[in-house]
Chain A
Amino acid sequence: MTVITVNGTEQKLQVDPSTPLLWVLREQLALTGTKFGCGMAQCGACTVHVDGTAMRSCVTPLSAVSGQKITTIEGLAPNNNELHPLQQAWIEEQVPQCGYCQSGQLMSAAALLATNPSPSDADINIAMAGNICRCGMYSRIRRAIKSVAGVQQFDPAVTELAREINNG
């Protein structure tokens, strides 16, 4: 049995521990916001936070995250009534086209801003390099990230903690 914490809730999983986290999230936990695009860490559609760091869940075996805290797109917002500033900016800039890549884009961007609140263009290029958008919304993604740069971010680790306290 593998134990992980996903969006603040502890999960005990009877799954082959070599299974990539992506499929555990989507199939066992029905968290379908995290997407499959390539299966080989090339596209970023499956990006989640593992202890606050952006990881490609399609190549991360469940065993590698045992005991760790995972945040998915469903847990990015601080609570049910509020969006993460990036989610808000994504709507303001009308970023998504098909939207399929956007969970991954948002998770990569959130991890960037949590450690680097005012990234340069070059920082953005590096942090977002692993996320493909076949609809080509890169200018809007860049604009949206910059529009919240410097704005108070929800540190994923802090959000996690708050949630755990709430959940008792």
Chain B
Amino acid sequence: MGKWTRRAVISAGVVAGGGLIVGVAIRPGNRAAKLSKYVAGDGETLLHTWVKLDSDNVVTAIIPHAEMGQGVGTALAQMLADELDADWDLVKFEEAPALGEFANYPMAQAMLLAGADIPDFVLPTVEGALIRTAHVLDLQITGGSLSVRTTGAYGMRIAGAAVKEMLKIAAAEAWQVPVNQVIAENSQLIHKASGRVEPYCAFAESASQMTPPVSPTLKSVDEFKIMGRHVERHDLPSKVDGTAIFALDVRLPDMLYATVMRAPTFGGGIDSVDEVRTRAINGVVDVVQLPSAEVSSMLGKFTYAESVAVVAKGYWAAKQGMDALNIQWRSTENDGVSSDAIFKQFDRDISAGVDRESDIAQGDLVASMENAAQVIHADYRVPFLAHTCMEPLNATAMVNDGHCEVWVGCQSPLSFRQAIANALGFDIENVTVHNCFMGGGFGRKSRPDYAIQAAQLAVSLGRPVQLLWTREEDVRQDFYRPAIQSRFRAALDDSGDLIAWENTYVDKHEPDEAALIPYSVDVQDIGHVRSPTHIPFGAWRSVAHSHHGFFTESFIDEVAVAAGQDPFDYRVARLQHLPRQLAVLTKAAKEAQWHIPLAPGRGRGISLQSSFGSIVAEVVEVTVKDGNLSVDRVVAVIDAGYAVSPDGMKAQIESGIIYGLSAALFGEISIKDGAVVESNFHDYQSVRMSDAPAIETHIINSGADWGGAGEPGTPPIASALTNAIFNATGNRIRQLPIKNVDLQAARESTATMG
């Protein structure tokens, strides 16, 4: 590997020599001039894309990911600071501006190389020639639990180590001493023999003239000082005193406020709008019809339907104006579609097995089923789900002299920039995206529709406009976790051993391996049929793992019960080939005191899912009394390789569990007349304080490759919960949400069966 050239880095052909893709984060040569005008303040020297060192010796990590709650900035800054041997108190971070220069190259590389567990919404880029032809302009994405394991592992650490080496060389030259006698410690360079000590910043400028080293030496785990340590998140002080600026908090001079509505039936459009009553409302400025927008980016190709906006001097007037509009929507071919019809269609398509494709097919399924001592089968279902981020969708836009500025909280600022430029017919240089704190993302804020609408309004009004969706619009115009049906059959021999596993489900989504099971079964046939609906699909925290985690880990429980064996022991016997999974599952059982019996009416359930590079097991304890369910306790164990920020990882797991619990208990988007029935938190419920279990999270640092943390907590929770309910009541729940199940009746029916 010779010296890197600028070209070598920008094209994706960076050699993965030694298994590292470091080059993508390390800019060769000095690019400071080009980038510094965007991020460097007065007195600061930009060493390269990822690190900034100012004259006060403060190191700033420039984070190419958006903060949506996961504390990503802090974890990535820890990785950088540790390799740099920086004084943690002198380390800050800021989010990279939405410019191609900051595109997330390591993420692109990890996707190219690994491929398997990349979220659906980034897939088109991987398939396309974009990366290969060196136009990675679209990849500043947050999602797929990828930040730490790509940007952190391949970018930040290398960057920190490289900068340290450059500073040492610069100091050695200045002091005229051999470089191996220069020590870097706590943001200072030290030469012991001569007693010299100078802060890093003294050499910032000379270091910025150098070409970064090709392969800087990384620390081994036992040398970590800042990684693995509990540090307080940098962003929290502003989140307890009301000063954190979310997109909705942006205030521009002369700004107007707006709200929008699209046809409730997906694919519908506007027939006519009667504005008379609206325009009579005090404060209403305008009623604007926004054209549909075509977006083709790394997210794929989408058409966002046209909408009606009411613009006013304040949000309240805009909202009242919207309520007063009389809109006739065009009829569509989907006007008659209901949830019932959708599930009938799924059932029909699974039975017909049309164009069934296998994820895995091994062994002789027919023979195994014929020779089985026992065959069990079951159908599982989950409904559509909305994201309901705490902060409803909003964006603020301003157009001046042909330049559009947009303030938004989003998971993919570069693709938003592109999409806005396309929709307005602007050159991309004439669009600036300011990414703000996100009040939740969960996958929804990777779609730019709301930012496009704000930009369209700013153009049409000629004044800054803050667009805020009503919660009702947020629930009814989402990109939904799809409804899915999954059909299982399992063959057991007379000792209860699992000899064959068959599974057919509708609609394949990312990650590819989500429906696969870790258990050793010789004969397996897992596959899917296509059964499209008109309901828009979107990535929802953990994507396809969110439903397959419920399906497969429930059915393996059914198999264990049919075999007359303990569900934990049954899993353990079939995990001997996977030591990490085995360790995680075993620890979860141990911490939850799995084998100590519970009082009548109480129950425990267990579940195991590997997703986004991490392995998570969860044990849930419930009480069911007079048909009332209480989720008492959740014990979670995660092996993500190494926890950079242990408390941050625990918080993410807690968050993923509650998010999945809301869905398991209450989450249901129902379709009637082609449109969504639910509208706000009263009919699309979330877990609240009194529903929330005590959660204990344990971390295993196995030293395996880095895994994600934002999503892997979600997939196991639904099945751990329903398995616990089964354990308590004998009632097997195969359709979510649980709010629709009469647990009282279930207990009686179990009694009859027993």
Interface check A115, CB cutoff 8 A: no
Q: Which residues from chain B contact A97 at a C-beta distance below 8 Å?
A: 69-71, 651-652, 655
Are the C-beta atoms of B69 and A103 separated by less than 8 Å? Answer: no
Closest to A134 in B: B390
Are the C-beta atoms of B248 and A35 separated by less than 8 Å? Answer: yes
Interface-side segment among B293-301, B432-440, B566-574, B602-610: B432-440
Closest to B695 in A: A139
Interface size class of B (residues with CB under 8 A): 35 or more
Are the C-beta atoms of A38 and B242 separated by less than 8 Å? Answer: no
Are the C-beta atoms of A94 and B233 separated by less than 8 Å? Answer: yes
Q: Which residues from chain A contact B656 at a C-beta distance below 8 Å?
A: 136
- Cα(A37)–Cα(B474), bound, Å: 10
Q: Which residues from chain B contact A73 at a C-beta distance below 8 Å?
A: 241-242
Are the C-beta atoms of A99 and B437 separated by less than 8 Å? Answer: yes
Are the C-beta atoms of B237 and A19 separated by less than 8 Å? Answer: no
Are the C-beta atoms of A77 and B241 separated by less than 8 Å? Answer: yes
Q: Which residues from chain A contact B316 at a C-beta distance below 8 Å?
A: 16, 19-20, 23
- Cα(A162)–Cα(B70), bound, Å: 38
Over the window 137-149 of chain A, the binary record of Cβ atoms lying under 8 Å from chain B Cβ atoms (1 yes, 0 no) is 1111110000000
Are the C-beta atoms of A137 and B654 separated by less than 8 Å? Answer: yes
- Cα(A72)–Cα(B243), bound, Å: 12
Over the window 680-701 of chain B, the binary record of Cβ atoms lying under 8 Å from chain A Cβ atoms (1 yes, 0 no) is 1110001111101011000000
Interface check B34, CB cutoff 8 A: no
Interface check B94, CB cutoff 8 A: no
- Cα(A42)–Cα(B678), bound, Å: 14
Closest to B237 in A: A91
Are the C-beta atoms of B241 and A83 separated by less than 8 Å? Answer: yes
Over the window 75-105 of chain A, the binary record of Cβ atoms lying under 8 Å from chain B Cβ atoms (1 yes, 0 no) is 0110000010001001100111111111100
Known A23-B316, A101-B390, A141-B689; contact A132-B242, beta-carbon cutoff 8 A = no
Known A36-B248, A40-B680, A134-B659; contact A98-B694, beta-carbon cutoff 8 A = no
Are the C-beta atoms of A33 and B390 separated by less than 8 Å? Answer: no
Are the C-beta atoms of A134 and B236 separated by less than 8 Å? Answer: no
Q: Which residues from chain A contact B682 at a C-beta distance below 8 Å?
A: 40, 42
**Residue with the highest number of chain A CB atoms closer than 10 Å, among B233, B470, B651, B689:** B689
- Cα(A23)–Cα(B740), bound, Å: 37
Are the C-beta atoms of A99 and B244 separated by less than 8 Å? Answer: yes
Partner of A90, one of B236, B249, B651: B236
Interface check A32, CB cutoff 8 A: yes
Q: Which residues from chain A contact B242 at a C-beta distance below 8 Å?
A: 31-34, 72-74, 103
Are the C-beta atoms of B240 and A91 separated by less than 8 Å? Answer: yes
Partner of A96, one of B236, B246, B388, B680: B236
- Cα(A94)–Cα(B580), bound, Å: 29
**Min C-beta distance of B450 to chain A, whole Å:** 15
**Residue with the highest number of chain B CB atoms closer than 10 Å, among A83, A90, A98:** A98
Q: Which residues from chain A contact B513 at a C-beta distance below 8 Å?
A: none
Over the window 1-39 of chain A, the binary record of Cβ atoms lying under 8 Å from chain B Cβ atoms (1 yes, 0 no) is 000000000000000100110010011001111111111
Known A20-B316, A23-B316, A72-B242; contact A30-B251, beta-carbon cutoff 8 A = yes
Interface check B232, CB cutoff 8 A: yes
**Min C-beta distance of A1 to chain B, whole Å:** 16
**Min C-beta distance of B176 to chain A, whole Å:** 47
Known A27-B315, A32-B248, A45-B390; contact A129-B690, beta-carbon cutoff 8 A = yes
Interface check A133, CB cutoff 8 A: yes
**Residue with the highest number of chain A CB atoms closer than 10 Å, among B282, B648, B651:** B651
**Min C-beta distance of A14 to chain B, whole Å:** 12
Q: Which residues from chain B contact A138 at a C-beta distance below 8 Å?
A: 658, 687-689, 692
Q: Which residues from chain A contact B249 at a C-beta distance below 8 Å?
A: 26, 32
- Cα(A141)–Cα(B695), bound, Å: 13
- Cα(A91)–Cα(B235), bound, Å: 10
Over the window 503-535 of chain B, the binary record of Cβ atoms lying under 8 Å from chain A Cβ atoms (1 yes, 0 no) is 000000000000000000000000000000000
Known A39-B471, A90-B240, A91-B232; contact A27-B680, beta-carbon cutoff 8 A = no
Q: Which residues from chain A contact B240 at a C-beta distance below 8 Å?
A: 83, 87, 90-91, 95-96, 99, 102, 106
Interface check B283, CB cutoff 8 A: yes
Q: Which residues from chain A contact B238 at a C-beta distance below 8 Å?
A: 99
Q: Which residues from chain B contact A43 at a C-beta distance below 8 Å?
A: 390, 681
Q: Which residues from chain B contact A77 at a C-beta distance below 8 Å?
A: 241
Interface check A70, CB cutoff 8 A: no
Over the window 632-673 of chain B, the binary record of Cβ atoms lying under 8 Å from chain A Cβ atoms (1 yes, 0 no) is 000000000000000110011011111101100000000000
Interface check B304, CB cutoff 8 A: no
Known A73-B242, A98-B390; contact A35-B439, beta-carbon cutoff 8 A = yes
Q: Which residues from chain B contact A38 at a C-beta distance below 8 Å?
A: 471, 680-681
Interface check A113, CB cutoff 8 A: no
Q: Which residues from chain A contact B317 at a C-beta distance below 8 Å?
A: 16
- Cα(A106)–Cα(B656), bound, Å: 22
**Min C-beta distance of A8 to chain B, whole Å:** 15
- Cα(A140)–Cα(B236), bound, Å: 14
Are the C-beta atoms of B243 and A137 separated by less than 8 Å? Answer: no
Interface check A55, CB cutoff 8 A: no
Interface check B353, CB cutoff 8 A: no
Q: Which residues from chain B contact A34 at a C-beta distance below 8 Å?
A: 242
Are the C-beta atoms of A140 and B651 separated by less than 8 Å? Answer: yes
Interface check B257, CB cutoff 8 A: yes
**Residue with the highest number of chain A CB atoms closer than 10 Å, among B241, B249, B319:** B241
Are the C-beta atoms of B314 and A136 separated by less than 8 Å? Answer: no
Q: Which residues from chain A contact B237 at a C-beta distance below 8 Å?
A: 91
Are the C-beta atoms of B390 and A136 separated by less than 8 Å? Answer: no
**Min C-beta distance of B392 to chain A, whole Å:** 7
- Cα(A99)–Cα(B389), bound, Å: 12
**Min C-beta distance of B708 to chain A, whole Å:** 15
Q: Which 8 A-B pairs have the closest CB atoms?
A: A33-B242, A136-B658, A100-B439, A99-B239, A98-B69, A97-B69, A138-B692, A73-B242
What are 24 A-B residue pairs whose CB atoms fall within 8 Å in the complex?
Answer: A16-B317, A19-B316, A32-B249, A32-B251, A38-B681, A42-B681, A94-B236, A96-B236, A97-B69, A97-B71, A98-B68, A98-B69, A98-B390, A98-B440, A99-B236, A99-B437, A100-B390, A128-B688, A131-B689, A134-B390, A135-B69, A136-B662, A138-B689, A141-B689
Contacts beyond the supplied A132-B390, A132-B686: 18 A-B pairs with Cβ under 8 Å: A19-B316, A27-B315, A36-B392, A38-B471, A39-B471, A42-B682, A91-B232, A94-B648, A98-B67, A99-B235, A100-B389, A101-B439, A128-B688, A134-B389, A136-B661, A136-B662, A136-B692, A142-B689
